[in-house]
């Protein structure tokens, strides 16, 4: 654990910005604020403010869908995790994202879209009733402000390490900028800025892998350097997963396939309203299905700008980073890998572009969490429990004020994140608490008509409580890790995967048992909510190469080939 005071004095200034670098950064902040002011007039109704008028094309919704996730977790967290665990971190992009994104597109999106719900808790209200909606809404709102704090902290760390800026100043500048443009333009403003940020992130973040591969002599030589300085296990994705001790993460392939691929990623990409909200803005059912597929295609190549910098750090950084090294004067932790690499390769001009790319990523993640929090609070907590009969104008006003409040709460959580040496361990623990059991409830609700309201409520509640309890058990008694993660060799991420798997199984088991003991809804009330009871909308009579299922097949083939190459 790294004390707050230590973070404030650790880093020495690594580089100095030239005037052209400052110009690039100032121009970016001005541009995102201008977009917010421009779109203010198009966010006067609830549908406009919270759902962007449901008029986005597949490409806009798809890039926003991906960009909302391309924040601190990607750019800074996974670079640190790649340094810590090697290429195994790529699993969180491939097996831990692509199948779930395709499942969202082809199976779950039609139900979300035709129900015209404003949120995932809104779907649970229709399917299971008010108690399930309240549990999911409260837990999701809590999670989003914690996640937003991650993005604020990550950006502040970059500014502190690279530029020597005060960490408090950096947190407040970024948070107030996001509060202004989301409060003005609502989700539409967040989406347009996320698309802009997507291109900025790639333009700036590609500098590190390109220059790093040039320095190390290419991919083949990079693998040799990593094997010499760390271990050959760091550059293989599957071959070391036959045992818990054969890889840097201390995880078995069952944890990756079932804990990550079948539970945690499915839960995140199909029920986390932060990302689902972007797809719900699509203008028609084909666009709603194509958006996650477009996102999945780009997602496969994101490891180039997040995993590869961490691997390059293993090969070229002069010091060995550890989870504890930041408490040593002048030391750095895993969280610092990306800014250290940025300082290594970027000079005047390029540095401004690189830092702008990181700021764009962090603000994208913050805006995504804040806009999702605003919608869930306004529709699923405030309107449902406090004020059911207000005007649409009142709810828009509440949404704007909630945006500001959500940002302020997120600032507080940013200081909490400072106590974690690896922000990705922190984030994956949150997902295992709230996302894994939620997926169990939603997927049973969509696929099994016998699931009842009490079953959904108690399953979701027991799943969430079980995950938090397992985490607390290991905190109190570290030897419990052998029971939760099936091995005393498991690292934090491995624990999170098994924690998610067990909480999902608890949720499903309780839901099934309670449902069989209670009375289900009549079939007439399940139309539009359950497979087999609903006429799934068609994308229309279009050529096969324009159909979502065709492009989902293309993405699947590329995914399989990449896994074989890096086996």
Per-residue pLDDT reduced to its tens digit, 291-301: 899 999 999 99
Residue 277 confidence class, pLDDT cut points 50, 70, 90: confident
Between 192 and 420, the higher pLDDT residue: 192
Rounded CA-CA distance 388/59 in Å is 35
Could you tell me the pLDDT band of residue 10, with boundaries at 50, 70 and 90? very low
Cα dihedral across residues 82, 60, 383, 125: positive or negative = negative
Look up residue 307 and give its two tokens: 């995993």
Among 37-41, 198-202, 217-221, the minimum mean pLDDT is found in 37-41
For the cut 60, the answer to whether the pLDDT of residue 181 exceeds it is yes
Q: Is the pLDDT of residue 325 over 60?
A: no
Quote the CA–CA distance of 191 and 102 in Å, as a whole number. Answer: 21
- Asked if pLDDT for residue 282 goes beyond 90, the answer is no
Range 18-33 average pLDDT: 81
CA distance 63 to 278: 9
- For the cut 90, the answer to whether the pLDDT of residue 94 exceeds it is yes
pLDDT given at position 6: 34
Highest mean pLDDT among 60-64, 237-241, 269-273, 532-536: 237-241
What are 256's two structure tokens?
Answer: 């990756």
**pLDDT score for 91:** 93
pLDDT at residue 48 greater than cutoff 60: no
What gap in Å lies between CA 124 and CA 133, rounded to an integer? 5
Strand-pair partners of 250: none
Is residue 126's pLDDT more than 90? Answer: no
Determine the 3-state secondary structure of 547 from DSSP.
coil
Least confident among 146-160, 435-449, 474-488:
146-160
Query: If 0-12 CB within 10 Å is exposed, 13-18 middle and 19+ buried, where does residue 449 land?
Result: middle
**Average pLDDT for the chain:** 80
**Residue 234: enclosing H or E segment and its boundaries?**
none
Predicted pLDDT at 330: 47
Structure tokens at 163: 């530029």
Domain 4-565 has CATH 2.60.120.620: no
Residue with the bigger pLDDT between 105 and 195: it is 105
CA atoms within 13 A on the CB side of 200: 28
Query: Does residue 4 have a pLDDT over 50?
Result: no
CA angle 470, 273, 266 (to 5 degrees): 55
- On the question of pLDDT at 400 being above 50, the answer is yes
pLDDT attached to residue 322 = 61
The arithmetic mean of pLDDT across residues 404-414, rounded, is 78
Predicted local distance difference test score (pLDDT) of residue 500: 92
Q: Is the pLDDT of residue 70 over 50?
A: yes
pLDDT given for residue 350 in this prediction: 75
Q: Rounded to the nearest 10 degrees, what angle do helices 219-229 and 207-216 cross at?
A: 80
Span 203-216, average pLDDT: 88
**Nearest by Cα to 195 from 39, 364, 25, 367:** 364
Mean pLDDT confidence for 121-134: 87
pLDDT at residue number 54? 60
- How far from the centroid of its chain's Cα atoms is residue 26's Cα? 27
d(CA 473, CA 553): 42
- pLDDT value for 376: 79
Lowest mean pLDDT among 132-141, 188-197, 334-343: 188-197
Q: Which residue would you say has higher pLDDT here, 386 or 540?
A: 386
Compare 4 and 239 and report the one with higher pLDDT: 239
Residue 447: pLDDT over 80: yes
Task: Give the confidence band of 509 by pLDDT, cuts at 50, 70, 90.
Answer: very high
Q: Above pLDDT 90, what percent of the chain?
A: 23
In degrees to the nearest 10, what's the CA dihedral of 181, 184, 188, 192?
-30
Residue 395 CA, distance from chain mean position:
27
Q: Residue 521: is its pLDDT beyond 70? A: yes
Asked if 38 and 367 touch (Cβ cutoff 8 Å), the reply is: no
């Amino acid at each position: 654990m790294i004390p707050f005071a230590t973070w404030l004095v650790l880093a020495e200034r690594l580089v100095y910005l030239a005037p052209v670098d400052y110009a690039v950064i100032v121009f970016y902040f001005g541009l995102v604020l201008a977009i917010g002011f421009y779109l203010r007039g198009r966010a006067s109704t609830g549908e406009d403010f919270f759902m962007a008028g449901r008029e986005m094309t597949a490409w806009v919704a798809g890039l926003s869908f991906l960009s909302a996730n391309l924040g601190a977790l990607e750019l800074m967290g996974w670079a640190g995790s790649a340094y810590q665990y090697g290429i195994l971190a790529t699993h969180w992009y491939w097996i831990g994202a692509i199948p779930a994104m395709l499942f969202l597109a082809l199976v779950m999106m039609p139900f979300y879209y035709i129900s015209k719900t404003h949120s995932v808790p809104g779907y649970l209200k229709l399917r299971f009733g008010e108690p399930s909606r309240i549990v999911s809404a409260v837990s999701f709102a809590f999670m989003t402000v914690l996640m937003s704090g991650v993005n604020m902290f990550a950006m502040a760390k970059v500014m502190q390490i690279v530029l020597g800026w005060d960490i408090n100043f950096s947190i407040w500048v970024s948070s107030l900028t996001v509060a202004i443009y989301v409060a003005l333009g609502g989700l539409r403003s967040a989406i347009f800025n996320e698309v802009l940020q997507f291109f900025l992130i790639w333009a700036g973040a590609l500098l590190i892998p390109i220059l790093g591969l040039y320095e190390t002599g290419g991919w083949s030589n990079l693998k040799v350097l990593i094997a010499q300085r760390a271990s050959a296990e760091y550059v293989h994705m599957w071959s070391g997963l036959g045992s818990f001790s054969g890889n840097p993460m201390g995880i078995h392939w069952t944890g990756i396939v079932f804990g990550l691929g079948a539970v945690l990623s499915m839960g995140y990409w199909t029920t986390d309203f932060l990302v689902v909200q972007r797809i719900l803005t699509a203008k028609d059912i084909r666009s709603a299905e194509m958006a996650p597929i477009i996102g999945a295609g780009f997602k496969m190549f994101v490891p180039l700008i997040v995993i590869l910098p961490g691997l390059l750090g293993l090969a070229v950084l002069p010091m060995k980073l550890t989870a504890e090294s930041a408490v040593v004067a002048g030391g750095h932790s895993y969280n610092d890998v990306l800014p250290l690499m940025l300082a290594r390769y970027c000079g005047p001009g390029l540095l401004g572009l690189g830092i702008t790319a990181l700021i764009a990523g962090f603000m994208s993640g913050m805006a995504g969490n804040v806009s999702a929090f605003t919608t869930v609070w306004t529709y699923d907590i405030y309107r449902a429990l406090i004020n059911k009969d207000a005007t649409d104008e009142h709810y828009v006003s509440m949404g704007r004020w909630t945006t500001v409040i959500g940002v302020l709460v997120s600032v507080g959580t940013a200081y909490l994140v400072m106590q974690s040496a690896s922000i990705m361990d922190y984030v994956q623990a949150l997902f295992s608490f709230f996302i894994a059991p939620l997926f169990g409830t939603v997927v049973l609700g969509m696929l099994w008509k016998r699931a009842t309201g009490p079953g959904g409520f108690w399953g979701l509640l027991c799943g969430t409580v079980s995950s938090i309890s397992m985490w607390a058990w290991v905190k109190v008694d570290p030897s419990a890790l052998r029971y939760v993660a099936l091995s005393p060799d498991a690292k934090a991420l491995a624990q999170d995967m098994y924690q998610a798997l067990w909480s999902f199984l608890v949720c499903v088991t309780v839901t099934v048992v309670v449902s069989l003991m209670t009375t289900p809804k009549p079939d007439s009330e399940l139309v539009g909510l359950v497979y087999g009871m609903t006429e799934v909308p068609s994308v229309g009579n279009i050529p096969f190469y324009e159909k979502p299922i065709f492009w989902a097949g293309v993405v699947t083939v590329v995914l399989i080939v990449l896994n074989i190459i890096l086996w």
